[in-house]
Every structure is written in structure tokens, then in C-alpha cells.
Structure 1
Amino acid sequence: MSALPFSKLSAPLNALIAAIGLMAVAALTIPDMAGRTRLTLEVLLAGIWVVYCLQLIETLITQRTRGVRDRMPAIAVDVLAVLVPLAAFLLDGTRDQSLYCAIWLLKPLRDSTFFRLMGRVLTNEARNLIGVTSVFGIVLFGAALAAYIIERDVQPDKFGSIPQAMWWAVVTLSTTGYGDVTPQSFIGRVLAGLIMMCGIGIFALWAGILATGFYEEVRRQDFVRTWQLVAAVPLFQRLGSAALVEIVRALRPRVVPAGTVICRKGETGDRMFFIVEGRVSVATPNPVELGSGSFFGEMALITGEPRSATVSAVTEVSLLSLYSVDFQMLSKSSPEIADIIRKTALERRGAPPKA
């Protein structure tokens, strides 16, 4: 079955449609709006809802071929975007029906990988996050208890119970400091200072755990992607897993716009390049174009001679660079890698490889 055009809405277009709908929702909250203007905005919301209905239908159709698990975030967002405003229209008879369209805030995220990334980070760091959250709860209750004991006689209207003191504890521990509830006694202010410092430490731990988790997950994904790219390069197809790990760690990604000169003839070469995506042109007497999976620049890396040709990007090119320093390290740890590169360089130069 051919795909409906509504399923091909790009992420930017989804975001634009959602933004238009949300601006209409915000405008409808303006009091004393003219009836014609209000009707126009309501018709606009109805039109967006119809588009989302068609998108949901196509999402449900295509999930049969792509798999439910892979499409679950998109399906969930599409269902909510349709059913929540519909339920509000059918069940809610107030003037705030349009407010339920605020669920469209989720539409820009339907095609995002953020949900899966966040899920993996939370799963990987669950023990650490639970531990810090437990410390937060203990400090929060302890601060409320101490504030209640210290301030209950001074400010019974604000610290007359532990639940009342809990609000002050939350505000102080988060270092928000609204100022609506403040301790009056000297001991209470000392307590507030200690709670603030504890809050800074706890929130720093949360931020550090999440930042480390995101970094590790992104690095893991990059490593896997680079591994797949390196394994597909003909030069490394004969290498074992251990050797591939070494070269994946040494390679450095780089994206070059179309028309950019990557290396010039006669300049000193300190790296070689592997083409991941795109095409480059090698300015030899008979110009040659290289595409995905090819490599160039190995001659200067091996022999130390100046570049023998100028190489330019025909299209936007994604490259993996292997610097001479990393090549020397790889030569010691994985001699077979260096041997393959040297033999290839000699073959391209026209000299017979040394035994």
C-alpha cells in the first residue's frame, strides 16, 4: 500500500504545524476577542486536528511493516494528539475546550530519538539516580522536621506542622528562595544555610549522573556507528575484532562541505582519510572520483612525502581521519593494520609490496 502524504511530514513541518496550533490556543485565551476571529482560530484548530487524524491513520498502517516496538513513541503521540482534543470536544462543554489542544506540544518530539535515548540513560543510571533521590528525600524530611521544631513557636502560621514546613524545605533545598516563608531565629537561618548547601550538592549529583549517562550513551552509539563504518571499508575487512577496536578508537570523524579542498598537492600530510558518505575528486592528470568506502592520503602518511594530489569534496563528505601519531601507535599495538595500509600505499604507487 502506498504511503499517504501525511505520513511524510518532516519533523520541522510537524513542529511548525504544532506551533501554529499552540499559538491559536494561546490567542483563544484572550478575553473579549471578536467572534469572527475566534471562529477563524477554531476552524484552524479543527483543520490541524484533521491533518493529525490522517497522520495517525497512516502511522497505524505503516506500523505493520516497521514493527510496533519501533513505532511506539510516534503511535502514542499521534493517538494523544487526536483523542485528547476529541474527548474535550465531546465531554467538556466549557469555553476551555481549545486548551486540550496543548497536547500538541508533543508533536515535534514524535520522530525524535530523545525518548529512546532518555530511556536508556535512565535505565543505565537507575541505581545512582535512586540513591541520590533517596538522599534528597531524607534531607527534605529532616529539614522540615528541624524547621518545625525550631520555628513552630515563632511562626506557628508558617511552621505549625511538618507538612507546612515541607514547603519551606523544598524551596530552600532547591535554592529557589521565594522569600514567602523564612526562618526568624538565628538557629533557623543557620539551618537554612546548611540546607541550601546540601541542595546544591544533591542537584549537582543529579546533573552529573545524567550528563555522564548521556555522554556514555552517545559515545557508545558513536562507537557502534564508527565500528559499522570501519568494518564496511574494504581495507579493514580482513581484520579481526581486536584490531577493529583499535582503529575505531583512533579514527576521528569530520564533515566537509561540498567544494572544500580537503588536502592540497605539495603540502605536508599528517593524516589519511576514509570516506563514509559523499564523493571526492582527486586532481590527477586523469581526475578520479572516490565514493563511500574509499580512502586517500595514505601515501603521505606512510612515506612522509608531500601530498601528490589535491583532493576536493564534490558533495558534502563525511570522513574518518587517521592521524600519523595514531598510526604509529596502531603500528605497535596492531602491526597487521599498518601492514595493510603500507601494502595498499605501495600498490597505488606502482611499486611491488615488500615481503
Structure 2
Amino acid sequence: MTAWPIPRVSVLTKALPVAFGLLAVVLLSEPDLADRTRLALQTLLVIIWCVYIVQLIATIRTRPAEEGRGAILIVDLLAVAVPLAAFLVASDPRDVSLACGVWILKPLRDSTAFRLVAKVLANEARNLIGVVSIFGIVLIVAAVIAYFVERDAQPNSFGSIPKAMWWAVVTLSTTGYGDAIPQSLAGRVLAGLVMMCGIGVFALWAGILASGFAEEVRRLDFVNKWQLVSAVPLFAQLGAPELAGIVRALRPRHVPAGAVICRKGETGDQMFFIVEGRVGVAAAAPVELGPGAFFGEMALITGEPRTATVTAASAVTLLSLHSLDFQILLSHNPAIAETIRSTAAERGSAKLGS
């Protein structure tokens, strides 16, 4: 019997309690649920709550001081404290199970996606606050004008600024519930202007968040590629500016074991640097290349088709360099160019080029 990989087991052990717990919360809201079924679901919630107590203790005792530890601790604490507080305070038993809905936060504790969201919000906080200020100003101005224009015609909907503010929120967000509608011409013109302002404000929010996400993803991608490139011995001699240029040119590629990376006879438009793993070169004298080695350069130097098939002997992490970037690299870095050309010459003489 084949054992499951540890990461898969870890994901299941984290996801299943959340899934079963939230399913129990949903089912317990049914008023006609059988007593035996209700008791079984409540017992399941208690068991999951006990599991989260153990997890909270483990977080407190074993987590070192690391980035994101505070958020993880808060989520684990809420998962235990909120249901307990509901059990001690709530008068309606339904509220106790409803409090377990806080477990929806559990997937966030280890999620890189939500950490990325938090990072973007922190980076763009000043711009977002500025847009919120614009939203607030438009909201108040629209509510005051709507109150002045519609208060006599519709006292129930616009009889006070707070009432008019509800209409302004609905209109500014372009939701349009239809529970409060201006009757006068001035009120309808105001509604149209408020809608257009709302579209503009939400477009600003979307633009700020989109650019923030794109910038953060580019930064993370650059850092990851920098780590990969710096692990290649051929680039160890380069300074930071030269290395940064190569980082932008190289593209990471992960290849599973047994996959063909390039085939004999095909046109070569890129060469490869091995970061992790090993590849097999099926030439006249087959060889294996490991971390730090490169291949595929002869097709770029001579312009001829590839002369060997290269296959991943194990899971491989590669950095690919396309022909145009290859020529730029050779022209700007004579030492690297000499190393690549001399290696290509040796392989050509031994018919190991690919």
C-alpha cells in the first residue's frame, strides 16, 4: 500500500475539520432536524473544538518568533474563544453552534494568498484611505442634498440626513435596492451624478488594488528568481546590477522526472541552467548533468538543430534563457561568454552538444 505524501496528509488534516465543522453549523440551522442528528452534529462540533484547543496550545508552545506568527495565533485563539464565549453567554442554543462559524478563518492562517492580500493592503493603505475619504465626502454631500430636495415629498425615506444617507450608500455603490427613490427632477439628477461618482470611486479602488497586486507579485517573482539565479555557480562572479539584469532575462521552469526537456533535431531557441536535480543527455556517450551545469547553448551559438535529447533524470528546476537574451548576456559579460563558449567547444568536439 502506497503511503500518501506528507504535504497531502497535512492539507487534509487542516481542511477536513473546517469543512465538517461548517457543514455541521449549516445543518444545525434547520429547525426540523431530528434530535438524534442534532446531537450527533453538536458532538462533532465539540470534538473539532477540542482539536482546535490542542492546535492553539501547539501554536503557543512550538511556534518560534516568525513573520505571520501573530496572525496565526489570533486565528487559533478566536477558533477556541468565540465558541466558548457563546456557550457561556448565549441564551439561545442555536447561537452556540452559529459561533463555530468563526472556523471559516482557519484556512487563512497558513494561506499565502491572504498574506499577499494583507501585504498589498498595507502597501497601498495611504492611497486606499484617500479613496475612502473621497467616498465619505461624496456620501455626506449626496445625503445632505437629497435630504434638502426630497424631505417634504418623502419624509419616510428622506426625512432626516441618516435616512438620506442610506439612499446615498445604496446609490453610490450602484446597488439600487429600490426602497428609496427620488421623485423630483432635482433628486433624479442627483441620483445620476451619485451613480457616476460611485463608478469612479470603485474604479479607483479596483485600480489601486490591481496595481498593488501586480507590483507585489513582480517583487516576489524577482526575489524567487534571484535566489535561483544566485544558486548557479556561473553567475557567482557577477555584481548586483549584472545579476539583476540576468534575473529579469531568465525564466524559471520546473520539470518532472522523466519529462523531455529538448529533443534532437529540433530548432533551439533557448538554453538552460540547472538549479536543482539532474538531467540525462542522450548523446553518443550519454552523460548526466547536475546543479550548476548548463546545456542547450550550442544550438544558440551555431544556429544548428539540437544534437541530443535531454531528459529530466529527476525532478529538475531550470532557468531558461532565450536566444536574444543569450546574445545580450554574452555581449555584456565576457567572462561568462568565454565559459559558455569553451564548454560548447569541448562538447562539440566530443559530440555532446544539445
TM-score normalised by length of structure 2: 0.90
Matching residue of 1:314? 313
SS in 2 for 1:33: coil
Structure-2 change in CA distance of 1:69 and 1:310 (3 Å): closer
- Is 1:235 the counterpart of 2:210? The answer is no
SS in 1 for 2:253: strand
Matching residue of 1:56? 56
SS in 1 for 2:319: strand
Instruction: Please say if residues 157 and 164 of structure 2, whose CA atoms lie closer than 8 Å, have aligned partners that are also in contact.
Output: yes
Structure 1 residue 108: Cα displacement: 1.1
Structure-2 change in CA distance of 1:209 and 1:195 (3 Å): same
SS in 2 for 1:10: helix
Q: Quick one: distance in 1 between partners of 2:315 and 2:187? A: 63
Amino acid in structure 2 at the alignment position of 1:86: L
Write out aligned runs for 1:94-173 (5 A).
94-95=92-93, 96-173=95-172
Structure-2 change in CA distance of 1:59 and 1:163 (3 Å): same
Structure 1 residue 115: Cα displacement: 4.1
Instruction: Please say if residues 231 and 275 of structure 2, whose CA atoms lie closer than 8 Å, have aligned partners that are also in contact.
Output: no
Instruction: Please say if residues 256 and 313 of structure 1, whose CA atoms lie closer than 8 Å, have aligned partners that are also in contact.
Output: yes
Structure 1 residue 334: Cα displacement: 4.3
Moved more, 95-104 or 47-56: 47-56
- Is 1:31 the counterpart of 2:31? The answer is yes
Q: Quick one: distance in 1 between partners of 2:103 and 2:131? A: 33
Q: Quick one: distance in 1 between partners of 2:276 and 2:193? A: 55
Q: Quick one: distance in 1 between partners of 2:120 and 2:42? A: 40
Matching residue of 1:20? 20
Structure-2 change in CA distance of 1:24 and 1:292 (3 Å): farther
Structure-2 change in CA distance of 1:8 and 1:110 (3 Å): farther
Unaligned runs of 5+ in 1: 1-6
Q: Quick one: distance in 2 between partners of 1:299 and 1:176? A: 62
Write out aligned runs for 1:56-95 (5 A).
56-63=56-63, 66-95=64-93
Matching residue of 1:3? none
Matching residue of 1:195? 194
Amino acid in structure 2 at the alignment position of 1:207: A
Structure 1 residue 330: Cα displacement: 3.1
Question: How many residue pairs were aligned?
Answer: 343
Deviation readout 1:267-317 (Å, 9 max, x if unpaired): 121100123344332212343333444322112122222212101233443
Moved more, 287-296 or 38-47: 287-296
SS in 1 for 2:271: strand
Deviation readout 1:227-247 (Å, 9 max, x if unpaired): 111011011111111110111
Deviation readout 1:123-164 (Å, 9 max, x if unpaired): 221221121111111111111112112211211111111111
Structure-2 change in CA distance of 1:8 and 1:273 (3 Å): closer
Q: Give the fraction of aligned pairs with identical amino acids, expressed as a percent.
A: 66
Q: Quick one: distance in 1 between partners of 2:132 and 2:295? A: 52
Instruction: Please say if residues 59 and 75 of structure 1, whose CA atoms lie closer than 8 Å, have aligned partners that are also in contact.
Output: yes
Unaligned runs of 5+ in 2: 1-6
Instruction: Please say if residues 300 and 323 of structure 2, whose CA atoms lie closer than 8 Å, have aligned partners that are also in contact.
Output: yes
Structure-2 change in CA distance of 1:206 and 1:234 (3 Å): same
Structure 1 residue 17: Cα displacement: 1.7
SS in 2 for 1:153: coil
Q: Quick one: distance in 1 between partners of 2:144 and 2:60? A: 53
Instruction: Please say if residues 11 and 108 of structure 1, whose CA atoms lie closer than 8 Å, have aligned partners that are also in contact.
Output: no
Structure-2 change in CA distance of 1:125 and 1:107 (3 Å): same
Instruction: Please say if residues 279 and 315 of structure 1, whose CA atoms lie closer than 8 Å, have aligned partners that are also in contact.
Output: yes
Amino acid in structure 1 at the alignment position of 2:310: V
Structure-2 change in CA distance of 1:341 and 1:42 (3 Å): same
Structure 1 residue 253: Cα displacement: 2.6
Instruction: Please say if residues 73 and 115 of structure 1, whose CA atoms lie closer than 8 Å, have aligned partners that are also in contact.
Output: no
